[in-house]
A and B are shown apart, each in its own frame.
Chain A
């Protein structure tokens, strides 16, 4: 797959790769993309896509607040927290 740019796609996926990983993954993914290209052989004209294996449509529930995790429980596994919030690096200058 000549237009597959591992560096660009890894950035889209937000995964930092070492140069060595980029090289190995690039080669492996070229092989896999070559294999999945065989789907181009199939005539899919007029075929509807299947998004879910067992069609169910428009499953909803009433729009009301129900019991859920407490703030404390939701934060329990956070790597950094303060004042009942997740802490992240500065986003806006």
Chain B
């Protein structure tokens, strides 16, 4: 059952030389062989390269390198197909990037390597991270390890499903409007979106540059703290990355001498505007029980108001497509990826993009092009940027009263394959609780908080924190985990 260990359990066993990194990797690969034909989380895995990395980690362990020096030494971790890993394919689950091999390592990949991780596998996603179910992948839909008739969430659905199915000890994804937290909730794992600027995006294929952040999927909060510490920090190659020191997130999890009320002194807000219905009954019940538990653990629960919440989705669906239309202009059939020839460059560009992009990507590029086009910029994009200021101010005002905000991560548990795929607007509304966090640039995580009745599907509780408040939300989630065993439950395909 090696594949079911958390990172902290695995590094303990590696340090004591009870298991090798190679054993850990082989356990993941065997699990992939066993369950991935059903889950379909992995697009590919370079096994020979991964085995060489694991053997190198075992040599380093034998030579006396410790996890204090390299916190992820020997730990197999898989990547969303949006992160550049030198010599490996990067496709964003899109036909337009078919055959692309990354010529360089992104900063996160570089930092994971420095921390000793064994990086293997490319994980399925909605094409260019646009979607909430992985149904927009050009290749296939990943399925939920708790119920393979259902989606795993998205866009980082492969990341969440791989952790829930214990095919990797952790995975790294990206979150533009909920793409880490929503699939983590639907698959029953921990997912963290850091503060905008906390983690460098150099080597992340850009979707919406003022919203995108990279973050981890893990089996528990302690592992999320370990990974966040490994990937955070300033990078001169990403001009939006913050020049702020990286705290010891793992050490910050413990409250010395707190006993049975580790959250005493913390104030946690519930949002008045989120109490308007529309949340599935089983999700609502599990989150309410979770909030009651936070109170038992010593937190003071108070109501806060985010008056512009109702406008977050509309704001997002102007800003994100607008930025995407600019970012995805680089896929022109000239420098990389697929090409469909034409008589002139215009025809070549248009045919390439018509053939290479899937329906959702086309929808968003065209929407973004329209809201930025001459005569409409002020009415749509500029107005959305102003509403965004109001949304951010709402959060900053709320954080004068509270240390964190708690809500459901998603309004429903995992839905059936095909249930929402024909109605883009319905699909967009599945991100209703996660979107405003990206617009405000704050941090957020999802932690497992129970299950719906029948069918039994995981439910996630979202904690939102102040800018650079990752330590606080991790501490709350950790204290919550210590008092429950939701995060230890194993999926039928785990």
Q: Chain A interface (Cβ within 8 Å of chain B)?
A: 4, 6, 9-18, 21, 24-25, 28-29, 31-33, 35-42, 44, 47-54, 56, 59, 61, 69, 73-74, 76-80, 86, 88-91
Residues of A within 8 A of B236 (CB): 61
Interface check B333, CB cutoff 8 A? yes
Contact B389 A47 (CB under 8 A): yes
Set A16, A31, A86: member contacting B350, Cβ < 8 A: A16
Interface check B451, CB cutoff 8 A? no
Provide the B238-262 mask, 1 if CB < 8 A to any CB of A, else 0. Answer: 0110100000000000000000000
Chain B residues 318 to 358 lying within 8 A of chain A, measured CB to CB, are 318, 325, 329, 332-339, 341-351, 353-355, 357
Set A10, A31, A49, A80: member contacting B366, Cβ < 8 A: A10
Contact B335 A15 (CB under 8 A): no
Q: Chain B interface (Cβ within 8 Å of chain A)?
A: 99-101, 103-104, 195-197, 210-211, 236, 239-240, 242, 308, 310-311, 313-315, 317-318, 325, 329, 332-339, 341-351, 353-355, 357, 359, 362-363, 365-367, 369-370, 373, 380, 382-390, 392, 424-425, 428, 438-441, 467
Contact B348 A89 (CB under 8 A): yes
Residues of A within 8 A of B239 (CB): 56, 59
Set B104, B314, B334, B350: member contacting A69, Cβ < 8 A: B104
Residues of B within 8 A of A4 (CB): 370
B469 to chain A, nearest CB (A): 13
Q: How far is the CA of A59 from the CA of B241 in the complex (A)?
A: 10
Closest residue of chain B to A73, judged by CB?
Answer: B103
**CB-defined A-B contacts under 8 Å, sample of 13:** A12-B369, A14-B329, A14-B332, A17-B362, A32-B367, A35-B313, A36-B314, A39-B318, A42-B383, A48-B386, A51-B210, A53-B210, A79-B339
Set A13, A44, A52: member contacting B365, Cβ < 8 A: A13
Contact A53 B211 (CB under 8 A): yes
Residues of B within 8 A of A49 (CB): 382, 385-386, 388-389
Q: How far is the CA of A50 from the CA of B366 in the complex (A)?
A: 23
Contact A51 B240 (CB under 8 A): no
A32 to chain B, nearest CB (A): 6
Contact B345 A88 (CB under 8 A): yes
Contact B389 A48 (CB under 8 A): yes
Q: How far is the CA of A50 from the CA of B210 in the complex (A)?
A: 10
Closest residue of chain B to A46, judged by CB?
Answer: B386
**Nearest 8 interchain pairs by C-beta:** A53-B441, A16-B354, A49-B385, A79-B339, A77-B336, A59-B239, A53-B196, A44-B386
Residues of A within 8 A of B332 (CB): 14
Contact B240 A54 (CB under 8 A): yes
Contact B314 A35 (CB under 8 A): yes
Q: A42-B390, A79-B336 are in contact. Are A91 and B344 (CB under 8 A)?
A: yes
A33 to chain B, nearest CB (A): 8
Q: How far is the CA of A13 from the CA of B329 in the complex (A)?
A: 8
Q: How far is the CA of A54 from the CA of B395 in the complex (A)?
A: 13
Residues of B within 8 A of A80 (CB): 339
Q: A69-B103, A91-B344 are in contact. Are A78 and B336 (CB under 8 A)?
A: yes
Set A33, A37, A40, A74: member contacting B103, Cβ < 8 A: A74
Q: A12-B373, A16-B351 are in contact. Are A77 and B335 (CB under 8 A)?
A: yes
Q: How far is the CA of A47 from the CA of B353 in the complex (A)?
A: 37
Contact A88 B382 (CB under 8 A): no
Contact B382 A14 (CB under 8 A): no
A90 to chain B, nearest CB (A): 7
Contact B197 A36 (CB under 8 A): no
Contact A13 B354 (CB under 8 A): no
Residues of B within 8 A of A11 (CB): 350
Closest residue of chain B to A11, judged by CB?
Answer: B350
Q: A13-B325, A50-B392, A53-B210 are in contact. Are A32 and B424 (CB under 8 A)?
A: yes
Set A16, A39, A77: member contacting B337, Cβ < 8 A: A77
B288 to chain A, nearest CB (A): 29
Residues of A within 8 A of B196 (CB): 52-54
Closest residue of chain B to A44, judged by CB?
Answer: B386
Q: How far is the CA of A61 from the CA of B237 in the complex (A)?
A: 10
Residues of B within 8 A of A53 (CB): 196-197, 210-211, 392, 438-441
Q: How far is the CA of A11 from the CA of B353 in the complex (A)?
A: 11
Residues of A within 8 A of B197 (CB): 53-54, 56
Q: A39-B311, A48-B386, A78-B335 are in contact. Are A88 and B348 (CB under 8 A)?
A: yes
Contact A9 B210 (CB under 8 A): no
Contact A15 B387 (CB under 8 A): no
Residues of B within 8 A of A17 (CB): 354, 362
Q: A16-B353, A16-B354, A51-B210 are in contact. Are A25 and B370 (CB under 8 A)?
A: no
Residues of B within 8 A of A13 (CB): 325, 353, 365-366, 369
Q: How far is the CA of A38 from the CA of B11 in the complex (A)?
A: 51
Closest residue of chain B to A4, judged by CB?
Answer: B370
B306 to chain A, nearest CB (A): 14
Set B210, B342, B362, B428: member contacting A52, Cβ < 8 A: B210
Q: How far is the CA of A15 from the CA of B357 in the complex (A)?
A: 9
Q: How far is the CA of A25 from the CA of B348 in the complex (A)?
A: 22
Q: How far is the CA of A42 from the CA of B318 in the complex (A)?
A: 15
Contact B317 A36 (CB under 8 A): yes
Residues of A within 8 A of B359 (CB): 21, 24-25
Closest residue of chain B to A25, judged by CB?
Answer: B363
